[in-house]
Structure 1
Amino acid sequence: MCSRYLGFILLVWFPGALHAQSAALHCPAPSLVRGYFFPVKETYSHDSKLTYACRNTHKPAVQGWWAESVCQHGTWSHTPRCIEEQACIPPTIANAKYTEASEGWYEEGHIIRITCDKGYEHKDNIATAKCINGTWSSLPMCEISIKTCRAPPKIAHAVIVDQGYQELFPEDTEVKYECEDGYSIEGSHNYTLFCLAGTWTEGPMCSKWTICR
Structure 2
Amino acid sequence: MTASCGPRRAPRRRPFSSWSHFVGNLLVTLALWLPASTDACDKIPRYASMKAKGNPVPPVSAGFAVEYECRLGYRLIVPLVRPTTTVCQPDGTWAPPLREACTRKSCPQLAEPLNGRIEGTFQFGAQANYSCNVGYHLVGTPVLRCELAGDGNNVAWSGDPPQCEKILCQPPQQIENGTFSNSHKDTFEYNEVVTYSCKPSGGPDEYSLVGKSKLICSGPNKWSSDPPECKVVRCDYPSLRDGELVSGFRKKYYYKAEVEFKCNQGYSLEGSGKIVCEANSTWVPEIPRCVKGVKSSVSSSPGRPTPDETLVILLNYAFIGLFLYVP
TM bucket by the smaller chain?
A: 0.3 to 0.5
What TM-score, normalized by structure 1, do the two folds share? 0.34
Structure number with bigger Rg: 2
What TM-score, normalized by structure 2, do the two folds share? 0.25
Structure with larger RCO (C-alpha < 8 A, sep 6+): 1
